[in-house]
């Protein structure tokens, strides 16, 4: 007499599934959500580490920069919590309910809005960098900001409709185009930001080898960050358009918010390393911000004299066989480099540095 276990094993697994749902679709849906959540939590740990590093290294940053960092970290943490809540609903509360893969939980809907919010904050930050480097060319930064806002609006509409419909098939039939527009705008804004930053950085090259190397490093860094976020967004968009009846796109979508947050925080935290490289062999490394991408990130912490930093006590003395050119930049209260940076030994080089500082 066959045992009960043998009888269960003889049952075709597809017969246990609800109509219209096969085992492959179930794996691609709930499996993608689980894997995406694990990656999401891993990246959240990196965001938290980057945030802690920022607060430790830059305690005197401007208030608005600190507030943006706090908001980005808070939104990212809540996003990770919502992703974990979605897994609890799908895999624990509805264990054995095979229809749950077509159900939109409120936590999943909220992650869409939180991803869009972090995306908007980071894109607005980089749009402000372009505005500074372009010397206030609003007709360049305004379209980027408008497109970023439209991406946020599309995500909020998608969130509201997901909560109302609570069904992936219904959402795909009625509002798939809204979600598609949102992801498309996000990728377009990333590309525009990368192009804008690279153009104005390259335009600031002066032939001064040390500063040109810094500009090359920042340009490469900008391309890498923009490429990472835009490629992830495009892949998520492709999965959404080609496979709207599973949740692979959602697993990728979980990571988008984390990549934007890490890009933003890594950009802020890279300032000290870039500034140290720009100072060469100077012992004052880390005492003020690099005035290329971040001209308004620091409040003034002292006025630099013509021969050295007044607050450091460093006496810049040249040797008998080598002339050391000491470059000084005077900053105002907002951390903006002034136009009258001078040098006693080589005024031409200082004019080039001031030009790069002004973007």
**The three-state (H, E, C) secondary structure of 306-327, written as one string:** CCCECCCCCCCCCCCCCCCCCC
Q: What is the pLDDT of residue 224?
A: 72
Strand residue runs (E) in 222-354: none
Helix (H, G, I), strand (E, B) or coil at 31: helix
Domain boundaries, the chain: 21-269, 284-359
Q: How many residues does the chain have?
A: 359
Instruction: Summarize pLDDT for 86-135 with one digit per residue, the tens.
Output: 999 888 888 777 777 788 999 999 999 999 999 999 999 999 988 888 88
Spans in the chain with pLDDT lower than 70? 1-25, 204-212, 216, 221, 275-359
Contact 59, 274 (CB under 8 A): no
Provide the terminal-to-terminal Cα distance of the chain, rounded to the nearest Å. Answer: 84
Give the CATH class of 21-269: mainly alpha
Close Cβ partners of 205 (under 8 Å, ≥ 6 residues apart): 212, 215, 356
Q: What is the pLDDT of residue 207?
A: 62
Query: Cα 147 from chain centroid?
Result: 16
For the stretch 106-110, contacts whose Cβ atoms lie closer than 8 Å and that sit 24 or more positions apart, written own/partner, are 106/163, 107/82, 107/83, 108/82, 108/162, 108/250, 109/158, 109/159, 109/162, 109/163, 110/82, 110/159
Q: What is the pLDDT of residue 273?
A: 74
Q: How far apart are CA 346 and CA 199, in angstroms?
A: 28
Q: What is the pLDDT of residue 100?
A: 79
Q: What is the pLDDT of residue 206?
A: 62
Provide the sign of the torsion angle of the four alpha carbons 194, 43, 81, 85, taken in this order: positive
């Amino acid at each position: 007499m066959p045992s009960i276990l043998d009888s269960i094993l003889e049952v075709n697994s597809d017969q246990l599934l609800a109509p219209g749902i096969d085992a492959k679709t179930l794996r691609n849906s709930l499996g993608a959500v689980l894997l995406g959540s694990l990656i999401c939590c891993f990246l959240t740990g990196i965001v938290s580490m980057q945030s802690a590093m920022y607060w430790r290294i830059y305690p005197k940053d401007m208030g608005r920069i600190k507030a943006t960092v706090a908001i980005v970290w808070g939104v990212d943490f809540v996003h990770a919590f919502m992703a974990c809540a979605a897994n609890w609903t799908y895999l624990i509360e509805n264990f054995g309910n095979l229809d749950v893969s077509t159900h939109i939980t409120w936590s999943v809907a909220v992650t869409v809005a939180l991803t869009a919010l972090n995306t908007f904050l980071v894109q607005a930050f980089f749009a402000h960098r372009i505005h500074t480097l372009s010397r206030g060319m609003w007709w360049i930064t305004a379209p980027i900001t408008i497109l970023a806002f439209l991406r946020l609006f599309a995500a909020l509409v998608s969130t509201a409709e997901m909560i109302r419909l609570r069904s992936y098939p219904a959402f795909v039939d009625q509002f798939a185009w809204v979600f598609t527009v949102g992801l498309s705008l996000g990728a377009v804004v990333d590309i525009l930001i990368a192009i804008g930053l690279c153009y104005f950085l390259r335009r600031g090259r002066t032939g001064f080898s040390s500063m040109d190397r810094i500009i090359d490093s920042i340009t490469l860094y900008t391309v890498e960050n923009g490429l990472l976020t835009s490629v992830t967004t495009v892949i998520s968009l492709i999965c959404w358009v080609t496979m709207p009846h599973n949740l692979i796109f959602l697993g990728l979508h979980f990571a988008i918010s984390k990549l934007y947050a890490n890009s933003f925080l890594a950009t802020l935290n890279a300032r000290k390393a870039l500034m140290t490289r720009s100072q060469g062999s100077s012992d004052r490394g880390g005492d003020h911000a690099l005035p290329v991408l971040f001209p308004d990130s620091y409040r003034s912490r002292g006025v630099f004299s013509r021969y050295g930093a007044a607050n450091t006590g460093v006496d810049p003395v040249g040797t008998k066989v080598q002339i050391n050119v000491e470059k000084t930049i005077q900053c105002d209260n907002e951390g903006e480099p002034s136009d009258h940076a001078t040098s006693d030994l080589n005024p031409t080089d200082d004019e080039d540095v001031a030009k790069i500082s002004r973007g």
